[in-house]
Chains A and B, each alone.
Chain A
Amino acid sequence: MSRQTPDLLPAADLAGEPRRRLSRIWPGWGSAKRVPLLIIGSVLGALVVLAGLLAPWITPYPQDAGAVVHPAQTLLAPSAAHWFGTDMVGRDIFTRVIFGARVSLGIVVLVLVVSAVVGLTVGLAAGFFGGWLDSVLMRVTDVFLAFPALLLSVALAAVLSPSALHAAMAIAFTWWPWYARLARGQAASIRRQGYSDAARVLGASRTRQLVRHVLPNAATPVFVQMSLDAAGIILTAATLSYLGLGAQDPTPEWGLMVAQGQPLATTAWWVITFPGFAILLTAVAFNFVGDGLQTVFDPKRGLR
């Protein structure tokens, strides 16, 4: 960003002193170096989404995503017929891993939508109206943030009956305060901006100010944060399922598949390896995208 205008931003340029080596070899590196992870992450993420969407058509044994049993084919090692081998009841693991993308992505979308809506509402209300409402809402938010996120999800999921939906609800329950805090800070600072005053002076109603001016500007950092959080949600959901607090058999959920394969891990490595790798791959894809977007939108902010 500062490269083209070194005279205006000398300090930032100076920070770049040691990073010139590669740009001597390949001049395009300067602009491309910011995005390789964003590109790789987007491609990987798109592949996971496509795999989930097209699961019934691209898997060799779509019926294996459900409650079927093939007693003659249990725990077969990976082969041409079963690329990732078969599990303890003979289901094709490749099929179940691909279908698993649907469950995991579904949970991610649900958690993000619910917690963004709740978080934005609470945060905007607190930041825009201020006063006692702000104090009350932010103290409540502090209480939620006082728990390690996974722990609160686990406690809540444990008292609910185990299912993928309840796991998603339990995660959203712990996720919204981050967005509330972020949106509140934005809303409070926007309220003090000139264009906010202008809108008020021109007689815009409070609703109009909120919807037309505050919401769009407060939402951008929340969206960036959401892209960073997708990986965390994937991991949290997988952990809940691994603990038996999420999706239940026969749902092809990655964390659950690892838990089911754990007793056999030393003899049938493929049962846990491929679902776990799917979790890692998806989380890496989302983290690459989140990191890239963050570099593009806000290069100065670190990991939260």
Chain B
Amino acid sequence: MSRYVASRVAQAFGVVLGVIVLTFVIARLIPGDPAVAYAGPRASAEELAAVREQFGLDQPLWQQFVTYITGIVHGDLGISLHTKQPVTSDLIQVMPTTLVLVGIALVFAALIGIPLGLAAARSQGTLGDLAAKVISILMVSMPVFWLAILLQIVFFSRLGWLPVAGQYDTALDSTSPLYSVIGVPVVDALLTGNWPVFASAATHLVLPVIAIAAYPIGAVAMVTRGALLENLGDEHIRMVRALGFSELSVFGRFALRPALNPIVSLIALVFAYALTNSFIVESVFNWPGLGSYAVKAIQTLDIPAILGVTLVVALLYVLLNLIVDLVQAIIDPRVRA
């Protein structure tokens, strides 16, 4: 096991190095002069030279790479062209909101997707199974930006049931002021026992969570169904059926357990989808998270911010994949071989 862990961790380090090289290469693909992009088209020659010196653009490429990688090791991702702040401090500010949003959406996706897949596998070949498959495919085929806007139109403009933008009703600030703990209203309100704000924040979560969770629900349901059916055909299931175990325990105890591995391996992929979906959803619902930050960076062609987001998300993704692999090795000894 420790050998597997060591080789897997070493591999992850190699990938991280590659990720850093690739973002550096993409940054150098920018057509035109990055100094002009920063200083603006009307900058004088002296200003451009100053900018070049400030960012080390007058150095040879390999030296720029060394500077870049040294910066990353020290947590320096450069200065955002748009906010004029260090990208790292911007990211620290926006990350918690997004991670909370994505986390809630993923829990929601698991709570709906796994039972849906179970039910489909349980009734394989019936119309119910077909319906579950069609629903899952609809979920994974939904353009998330369109879904988010439609949800806004239907539940806010037409029905007036749910709030459309922001994280909570800021009018509550005068009656029950919110103290910041981690900077995410729904969590802060919960931790400080601020129930009016918590209730408001919870209703503000409904539509964004649905929009982000759509793809994960479909994907989880499809994989759960497939993994269960694969296991239901196995010898050990025949065995426990022959031994007279109830259908419930055949499914719950003997078929679901070995099916967990494909579901766990899906977590990283679904996280990636949920996170990239949150980019769109946040900007539609006006949430001040990583997604809104990234979209703003894209719109203002803020290359350091775009690459900072790309790098941080890729690092998160590598880390999550590593954790998933290690968890799988614990669940299923065959993985280690």
Please state if A235 and B143 are interface contacts (CB–CB under 8 Å): yes
Closest to A240 in B: B298
- Interface members, chain B 247-266 (any A CB < 8 Å): 262, 266
A279 to B157, CA, bound (A): 23
B29, B232, B266: most-surrounded residue (chain A CB, <10 A): B232
Are B298 and A160 in touch, CB under 8 angstroms?
A: no
Q: Would you call A67 an interface residue if the criterion is a C-beta within 8 Å of the partner chain's C-beta atoms?
A: no
Q: A16-B124, A155-B26, A160-B31 are in contact. Are A143 and B146 (CB under 8 A)?
A: no
Asked if B137 and A147 make an inter-chain contact with CB atoms under 8 angstroms apart, the answer reads no
Interface contact A140-B153, CB-CB below 8 Å: no
With both beta carbons as reference points, the residue of chain A lying nearest to B215 in the complex is identified as A235
The answer to whether A37 touches B133, judged by C-beta atoms less than 8 angstroms apart, is yes
B298 & A158 in contact (Cβ 8 Å cutoff) = yes
**Is B18 on the interface with A (CB-CB < 8 A)?**
yes
- When distances are taken between beta carbons in the complex, the residues of chain A under 8 Å from B137 are 37, 284, 287-288, 291
Which chain B residues border A152 with CB–CB below 8 Å? 310, 314
Which chain A residues (12-38) contact chain B, with CB distance < 8 Å? Answer: 12, 14-16, 18-23, 29, 33, 36-37
Interfacial residues of chain A within 92-108, with CB under 8 A of chain B in the complex: none
Residue of A nearest to B314 (CB): A147
Whether the pair A19, B125 counts as a contact (CB closer than 8 A) is yes
Question: How many Å lie between the Cα of A18 and that of B150 in the bound state?
Answer: 38
Check if A239 sits within 8 Å of B144, measured CB to CB: yes
Check B145 for interface membership: any CB of A closer than 8 A: yes
Q: Which residues of A contact B61 (CB under 8 A)?
A: none
Q: Which of A16, A159, A255, A262 interacts with B27 by CB under 8 Å?
A: A159
B81 located at the interface, meaning its Cβ lies under 8 Å from any Cβ of chain A in the complex:
no
Residues of A within 8 A of B23 (CB): 155
How far does the Cβ of A120 sit from chain B's closest Cβ, in whole Å? 22
Q: A158 to B98: give the CA distance in the assembly, Å.
A: 21
Residue B317 interfacial (CB < 8 Å):
yes
Across the interface, do A148 and B276 meet the contact criterion of CB distance under 8 Å? yes
Q: CB-CB < 8 A to B233: which residues of A?
A: 11-12, 14-15
B273 at the interface (CB under 8 A from A): yes
User: Can you name the residue of chain A whose Cβ is closest to the Cβ of B219?
Assistant: A303
How many Å from the CB of B191 to the closest CB on chain A?
30
* Residues from chain A with Cβ under 8 Å of B31 in the complex: 159-161
Within 8 A of B (CB), among A118-149: 139-140, 142-144, 146-149
Asked if A276 and B125 make an inter-chain contact with CB atoms under 8 angstroms apart, the answer reads no
B230 to A300, Cβ gap below 8 A? Answer: yes
Check if A155 sits within 8 Å of B310, measured CB to CB: yes
Interfacial chain A residues near B15, Cβ < 8 Å: 139, 142-143, 146
Contact of B157 among A143, A245, A266 (CB under 8 A): A266
List B contacts of A297 (CB < 8 A).
Answer: none
Known A37-B133, A258-B149, A276-B146; judge A148-B317 contact (CB<8 A): yes
**Is B329 at the interface (CB under 8 A from chain A)?**
no
Beta-carbon contact of B235 and A148 below 8 Å: no
* Count of A-B residue pairs with CB < 8 Å: 194
Residue of A242, A258, A302 with most chain B CB atoms under a 10 A cut-off: A302
Q: Does A209 contact B (CB under 8 A)?
A: no
Pair A242/B141 contact, Cβ less than 8 Å = no
CB nearest to B122 among chain A residues: A18
Chain A nearest CB from B325 CB (Å) reads 12
CB contact list, B310-326 vs A, under 8 A: 310, 313-314, 317-318, 321
Does B229 have its Cβ within 8 Å of any Cβ on chain A? Answer: yes
Indicate if the CB atoms of A291 and B133 lie closer than 8 Å. yes
Q: For chain B residues 1-26, which have a beta carbon within 8 Å of chain A?
A: 11, 14-16, 18-19, 21-23, 26
In this assembly, does A265 line the interface, its C-beta being within 8 Å of a C-beta of chain B?
yes
**Complex Cα–Cα for A18 and B118 (A):** 13
Given contacts A158-B298, A244-B299, A280-B142, contact A11 B26 (CB under 8 A): no
The CA of A284 and the CA of B141, in the complex, are separated in Å by: 6
Residues 100-158 (chain B) with a chain A CB within 8 angstroms = 122-127, 129-130, 133-134, 137-138, 140-146, 149-150, 152-153, 157
**Is A238 located at the chain interface by the 8 A CB criterion?**
yes
A283-B143 in contact (CB<8A) = yes
A284 partner residues in chain B, CB cutoff 8 A? 137-138, 141
Residues of B within 8 A of A88 (CB): none
A258 adjacent to B124 (CB under 8 Å): no
For residue B220, which residue of chain A has the nearest CB? A303
- Cα distance A291–B222 when bound, in Å? 10
Alpha-carbon distance A148/B141, docked complex (angstroms)? 18
Residue B301 is within 8 A (CB to CB) of chain A in the complex? yes
A190 at the B interface (CB under 8 A): no
Q: Does B237 contact A (CB under 8 A)?
A: yes
Docked-complex contact A147 and B127, CB < 8 angstroms: no
Further 11 A-B residue pairs, CB within 8 A, beyond A154-B298, A244-B299, A283-B141: A14-B233, A18-B125, A22-B126, A142-B18, A151-B275, A158-B301, A238-B145, A266-B157, A280-B142, A291-B133, A302-B223
A–B Cβ pairs within 8 angstroms, 6 of them: A14-B237, A21-B126, A154-B294, A158-B303, A159-B31, A160-B29
Q: Which 5 A-B pairs have the closest CB atoms?
A: A19-B125, A143-B18, A276-B146, A148-B272, A283-B141
